[in-house]
Amino acid sequence: MRSISRRKNPLGDISVLYIDVMARAIRAEGTEPTDLLSRFGLDERALGQPETRISIPRFMRMGQAAITLTGNPAFGLTMGQLSRPVDAGIAGLAAQCAPTAGEAIHTLIHFAPLTSRNSRGIPWTTDGGRDAYFYSIKPYNVFNFFVVDSVLAAWTQFLRIITGQNRVIERVTIEYPSQGQDAVFEQWFGCPVKFGAQRNSLRLAPGIRDMASLQAQAAMFEKLSGECQRDFLRIRAGWTTGDRVKDLLPPLLQGDTPTLAAVAGKLGVAPWTLQRQLTDEQTGFRELVDETRQELAVEYIRETRASLSEISWLLGFANPAAFHKAWRRWFATSPGEHRKRYLAEQDAKSIR
């Protein structure tokens, strides 16, 4: 049987800065986070090293554990309530110095990859920062509801801090269906919240986008945003064309098989140019799609509880049978057999 190697966190990773926010939120709910942190191999010392990252699946499991521990299904809102600009790292510090709220939220979101990387995509803003979007993390389950809640709430809290206003959002849309907490969410955000929507998004209330930030500082904004940009470019320094292609593929795979032309368009090059560059690197587009599917498949099987049909859709296979066939080609076993054996091994380790 072929061994299963793993690229580091192919589903993405996140700074422990966000775990520190989680720990504060647990304390605010009246419980100590020490045991939960220990269960996931973390302690207060680890939280003091912002360069440390944990995988996105691990972060989601910690969030679900925190919800169970506190008994608060809207725990993500508590995390948002306790978020500060500094909790987003240098991006948060730069953003709070921006001249207006619109530019501030755009800066915060644009440089989000400095502290979190997710295979589902990156958040973005439109209309000069008036609309903010958080990428889809379908299929939704108990492990990832809180991610959407905490991100949208943190953005809202950031706007409240820099404007001094409580009503900063006009409308919230959330992809996952209502979990019976509609009134809690509308009270917290101070505006209508639509569940089961097409996207996860916030729309700033009228006048907020152009409102001056209470913490605006032109010189520091220029300095810190420049540092963010340099760090942003440094992350991608040394990437091959193949690396850039594989970075784009995961969200494009959902429900479909992306074409070379589509990926070339996102990279801003002609399809034949992309093909030539990949050939020069002794690889090809189909090989990169297959490699990406394989790497993601291992993470989905091991680190999530998504069904095989859901994983099949996430990887862009035509049906579960096609995914099953690909897994056997990769590893000479079935995905179900591998998940069962892997979980049994993890249970055995936890008992020791």
Domains of the chain with bracketed CATH? 77-233 (no CATH), 241-351 (1.10.10.60)
Pairwise CA distance, residues 78 & 83, whole Å: 9
pLDDT of residue 350: 57
DSSP-based three-state secondary structure for 53:
strand
Closest residue by Cα to residue 139 from 70, 68, 60, 54? 60
β-bridge mates for residue 54, sequence order? 14
Helix (H) or strand (E) segment spanning residue 195: strand 193-195
Token representation of residue 116: 């979190």
pLDDT of residue 349: 63
Residue 60 dihedral angles phi and psi, to the nearest 5° = -65, -40
The 8-class DSSP code of residue 15 comes to: E
pLDDT of residue 331: 94
DSSP-based three-state secondary structure for 237:
coil
Neighbours of 266 (CB within 10 A): 12
Judge contact between 53 and 16, C-beta under 8 A.
yes
DSSP-based three-state secondary structure for 61:
helix
Closest residue by Cα to residue 323 from 341, 339, 347? 339
Across 119-135, b (16+ Cβ under 10 Å) vs e yields bbbebebeeebbbbbbb
Digitized pLDDT (tens) for each residue of the chain, 352 residues in all: 444 444 567 889 999 999 999 999 999 999 999 999 999 989 888 888 888 899 998 999 999 999 999 999 999 999 999 999 999 999 999 999 999 999 999 999 999 999 999 888 899 999 999 999 999 988 888 889 999 999 999 999 999 999 999 999 999 999 999 999 999 999 999 999 999 999 999 999 999 999 999 999 999 999 999 999 999 988 878 789 999 999 999 989 999 999 999 999 999 999 999 999 999 999 999 999 999 999 999 989 988 888 999 999 999 999 999 999 999 999 999 999 999 998 888 766 655 5
pTM above 0.95, yes or no: no
Helix (H) or strand (E) segment spanning residue 117: strand 116-118
Closest residue by Cα to residue 190 from 65, 77, 32? 77
Instruction: Tell me the residue length of the chain.
Output: 352
Pairwise CA distance, residues 136 & 141, whole Å: 13
pLDDT of residue 4: 46
Pairwise CA distance, residues 101 & 216, whole Å: 9
- Residue whose structure tokens are 């970075």: 247
The 8-class DSSP code of residue 116 comes to: E
Q: Is 129 left (phi over 0), alpha (psi -120 to 50) or beta?
A: left
β-bridge mates for residue 173, sequence order? 194, 201
Pairwise CA distance, residues 129 & 346, whole Å: 44
DSSP-based three-state secondary structure for 63:
helix
Token representation of residue 147: 């991610």
pLDDT of residue 351: 54
User: Within a 13 Å sphere around the CA of 233, how many CA atoms are in the beta-carbon half?
Assistant: 5
Pairing of strands 169-174, 193-195: parallel
Beta strand spans in 196-348 (E)? 200-204
Closest residue by Cα to residue 289 from 317, 268, 308? 317
pLDDT of residue 235: 82
pLDDT of residue 219: 98
pLDDT of residue 1: 43
